[in-house]
Chain A
């Protein structure tokens, strides 16, 4: 356990693909219970940074810490696998394309990992699935397969699946970008509810309105660096960097 200031602590994160440097020495801390939005043009490295936090895209250099434990610890392969699997149980992730398991019902999508990894009995896992699906308003569809659900419903099930492991941190990778406009709100509502419950969240998003209304801090990334960060009311209204202004000008203009 560390003090709450550096609950999530990213130290000198750097990542390259060959000669292409996609993350250039990024350092960043997130407090427990804080909600941070990362915005920026495509190719800015925001998704890569998010995916580095649970080591889906391993960093070339730098360290990721969560609650006093280094996520990307240097360990021999086998020990590292065990370590990272344990760390990932504490880090929920929601993807742009949901990535629900199509051969499982909503119930099984949610209860499979707790059953396998935490040794829950079938009854306990069922109860957990019901609770989590109720939380995202999907209890009525508990025995539906993903192919029978709308995009918004799929994403809510995916959030329930992540929450079922009782994560300390939730990562959202453009969770609403693949949704039809009229389905965005139901997912945003669920994320708002999580925010009210003091879940620590890092959200990569294109939705400036949502970022402004929910997040404590907004980071603007471009070309692998954090150009500017601050509370949403400051960053959106009075950005200090020209690049931020340019991006926001285009983006806010486009969505309005």
Chain B
């Protein structure tokens, strides 16, 4: 049984649908991980002890355990305490929070390395500490870590394949389903890989766009 790529068009609709799901999961989870990363960084650096300590425990769980386990926990575990999330929502939350913790680490370091004259200048015109963080320090910190956050987002895209285990028909699971019908693993896994690659290129393109836009303002 040799390779036969001519079988692809017949099943392309399923693969494309999976591709759309992968893009949807990645985009929503990326947004959660970006804004979540900022919020987590502020909590980790500035929240009172009573909030910071439990938060650190949660952050450790997200960094120190497998994402797969976290997805199981959110999708299957939470049902036991009455929180029954649709698979897509559970997947997006799991991925989003997992990478929010990684982004938060980057953003924390960046916040601490913003020149302290920036906070001083903001305070001397009368801004409160919170206002100064929001308008002056955090925007600069985030600009500084756009490239490594971009790397995290590409890792997020690849890890979105894990969401297949809780039954979201994203690209990898769609490929598996087609293979189940056609017994053509090589062709369809290659096809899925090609789609991942294309999405990856698009993300890099967006990242470059953003970097170019903020190049003056750093």
Contact = CB atoms under 8 A, between A and B. Distances in A.
A112 B131 CA distance: 11
Nearest to B216: A145
A89 B126 contact: yes
A86 interface: yes
B200 to A, nearest CB: 28
Contacts of A89: 125-126
A102 B139 CA distance: 10
A117 interface: yes
B218 A147 contact: yes
Nearest to A55: B123
B65 interface: no
Interface stretch (A29-37, A65-73, A90-98, A191-199): A90-98
Contacts of A91: 124
B63 interface: no
Nearest to A161: B125
A21 to B, nearest CB: 23
Contacts of A100: 121
B214 A103 contact: yes
A177 interface: no
Nearest to B120: A56
The interface residues of chain B, by DSSP majority, are classed as helix
Interface in B176-218: 214, 216-218
A88 B126 contact: yes
8 contacts: A56-B123, A88-B126, A91-B124, A97-B117, A100-B121, A102-B140, A117-B125, A161-B121
Interface of B: 115, 117-118, 120-129, 131, 135-136, 139-140, 143, 214, 216-218
Interface residues of A, number: 29
Given A103-B140, A116-B135, 18 more contacts: A56-B123, A56-B124, A85-B127, A86-B126, A88-B123, A88-B126, A91-B124, A93-B124, A95-B121, A100-B121, A101-B118, A101-B140, A103-B214, A112-B125, A113-B126, A117-B125, A147-B216, A147-B217
Nearest to A87: B126
A162 interface: yes
A117 B122 CA distance: 12
Nearest to A93: B124
A165 interface: yes
A99 B218 contact: no
A205 interface: no
A185 interface: no
Contacts of A103: 139-140, 143, 214, 217-218
A14 interface: no
